[in-house]
Amino acid sequence: MRFRYTHSARTRMAIRKSQRRSYARYALLGTAAVVLLALAVWIMLYQDQARKVVDWLLDRPNPVAVPELERTSAWKTDQEAFHAMEAALYGAFMNLQVTPGRIRDTAPRTATATGRWRPLERSIIVSGAYSLAECNLEIARAVVRAGGKVSRAEERTRTGVLLLDITYDDDVTHRLNITRDPAIRRKTGRLAVVIAYTDGDQRAVVEGLSDFTRPLTFALFPWADGVNEMAGELMRGDHEVMALLPVRPASDTAGLPRRRSVSTTHSELTNRRVVEDALSTLPGAQGVLRYPAGRMDNEAAVLAPVLDELGKRNLYYLDNPGGPGGAGGPRGSGGPGRPEDRGGEYGPLRAWGVLDPLYNPVIISMNLDRASLSALEDTRAIVIADARPHTLQVLMNRMRYLEIRGIEFVRVSDLVDN
């Protein structure tokens, strides 16, 4: 006898089967809706990546080169803005001691078909000695001075990466990712600035420099009017005074009395008395600066009594190389700003060079930058400048930025003592 479901049982089974089909259909529709919603959100957030996926699926051809854009005035303006921001950023990177090996372009600056430019994306690694706030401030200062601005500054919560968008005229030119690396050591260097006072017309500049909060060394002509009062005023601050000693070849004695100059035409006793007179006239001097620059025949013999007299008084002798970069320094001086080993006495010091051989603010600023890099490389350097208004202005504007770079401004005697 064959088993047969009753009508009511068959009806219940049909209903359950229909319900299972409905549940499966609803589950499929719900899953499809979630997938479509997730896909829509992904497309909205990552349009470029979505376009690349669609192009790959449809095997669409991609252009391998963008045709050269028409060199319109707008195109030239964009190019000038980009290069202005590049120069400003590299100045900031120099102050943050970022070497070229720690700068990597992750996405190039490319032109679109509409004539606009995609920003350059760049990854930078700085020393852990710099905080992200210092990095942001230094880059913002450089960019603002060039006419741009930092339109976005954010820090990633987990990785601590600083994200910056650099904008010029509402167009983003650079996107920077800045990472701190504690393993990178920050270089430091000490730089002594010597201000030479040779002319009474420079007195106002010297008085303005006397209010500097950073230490300076002033080389004063010992026989100038009112020099002792000026020296006392300078030494009441955090500054140092040295004697400006004329050391001149026999063929170049114009402008300074020969009896107050060390010269090849003088006897050893006369040259020694010139030094004694200069130091007795300016008793607060910690050393002497050779002025002006110039080599002499039989120079070692001429300078022997000068160095001997300074050694007896435990004072230093600073040679004037006569140009930027330390050209023309004495032999055996041990490098820019380094004392020669003379058995415990203060030997000759060699200055890095002169900041203002050409009286131009741009040249002065450039030479100060070069001298600061030399100080970072050699740990110390000495620069010489005349007391003139442009020199004063450059020092006022640049010294605080060089301190961020790792420069400590000191007196000349601080370098000798250490």
pLDDT tens by residue, 171-206 = 899 999 999 999 999 989 999 999 988 776 777 888
Share of the chain above pLDDT 70, in %: 85
Q: At what angle do helices 132-145 and 73-95 cross, to 10 degrees?
A: 140
**Higher pLDDT among residues 384 and 12, named by residue:** 384
Bigger pLDDT: 163 or 237?
Answer: 163
Task: Answer whether 291's CB lies under 8 Å from 196's CB.
Answer: yes
Instruction: Give the tens place of pLDDT for each residue, 89-129.
Output: 988 998 898 988 999 999 998 877 666 788 999 999 999 99
Q: Say which CATH class 189-417 falls into.
A: alpha beta
Is it true that the peptide bond before 182 is cis, omega within 30 degrees of 0?
no
Residue 4 phi, psi dihedral angles, 5° rounding: -140, 130
**3-state class of 254 per DSSP?**
coil
Q: Rounded distance, CA 79 to CA 117, Å?
A: 10
For the range 67-72, what are the long-range contacts, defined as Cβ-Cβ under 8 Å and sequence gap of 24 or more?
69/111, 69/115
For 129, residues 6+ apart whose C-beta sits below 8 A from its C-beta are 185, 186
Structure confidence at residue 329 as a pLDDT band (50, 70, 90): very low
Percentage of the chain beyond pLDDT 90 is 27
Question: What are the φ and ψ backbone dihedral angles of 131, each rounded to 5 degrees?
Answer: -80, 160
Query: What is this structure's pTM?
Result: 0.67
Which residues, in sequence order, are CB contacts of 232 under 8 Å at separation 6+? Answer: 284
Phi, psi of 410 (to 5 degrees): -135, 175
Predicted local confidence at residue 334, as pLDDT:
40
pLDDT tens-digit map of 70-92 = 566 667 778 888 899 999 998 89
Q: DSSP string covering 287-353, please?
A: EEEEES----TTHHHHHHHHHHHHHHTT-EEEE--SSTTSTTPPTTS-STT---EETTEE-EEE--E
Residues paired with residue 345 on neighbouring β-strands, in sequence order: 342
Instruction: Provide the H-helix boundaries in 59-100.
Output: 73-95
pLDDT of 347: 53
- Could you give the strand order of the β-sheet that contains 120-127, starting from the edge strand earlier in sequence? 103-107, 120-127, 171-181, 162-168, 149-155
Q: Which pLDDT score is estimated for 341?
A: 35
For 38-42, 232-236, 343-347, which range has the lowest pLDDT when averaged over its residues?
343-347
Per-residue pLDDT band for 330 (boundaries 50, 70, 90) equals very low
Distance of CA 131 to the CA centre of its chain: 16
Question: 93, 124 in Cβ contact below 8 A?
Answer: yes
Q: Which residue has the higher pLDDT, 369 or 114?
A: 369
According to DSSP, the residues that pair with 287 across neighbouring strands are 316
74-181 maps to CATH 1.10.8: no
User: Which tens digit of pLDDT belongs to each residue from 265-284?
Assistant: 888 888 888 899 989 989 88
Cα 374 from chain centroid (whole Å): 12
Distance separating alpha carbons of residues 194 and 333, to the nearest angstrom = 18
- Average pLDDT of the chain? 82
pLDDT of residue 337: 43
Section 8-27 average pLDDT = 84
Which pLDDT band holds residue 343 (cuts at 50, 70, 90)?
very low
pLDDT tens-digit readout, 205-256: 887 777 788 899 999 988 888 888 888 888 888 899 999 888 876 555 445 5
pLDDT of residue 328: 39
Domain boundaries, the chain: 74-181, 189-417
Indicate the pairing of strand 262-263 with strand 240-248: parallel
Residue 258 or 402, more confident: 402
Give the CA distances from residue 250 to residues 246, 302, 409, in Å, rounded to whole numbers and listed in that order: 12, 12, 36
Nearest-angstrom CA–CA distance, 38 and 402: 51
d(CA 91, CA 402): 11
Asked whether residue 26 carries a pLDDT value surpassing 50, the answer given is yes
- Both tokens of 307, joined, read 């160095």
Length of the chain (residues): 418
Q: So what's the pLDDT on residue 38?
A: 85
Residue 331: the pLDDT is 34
Average pLDDT over residues 354-381: 89
| Nearest in space to 89 (alpha carbons), one of 162, 176, 156, 153 | 176
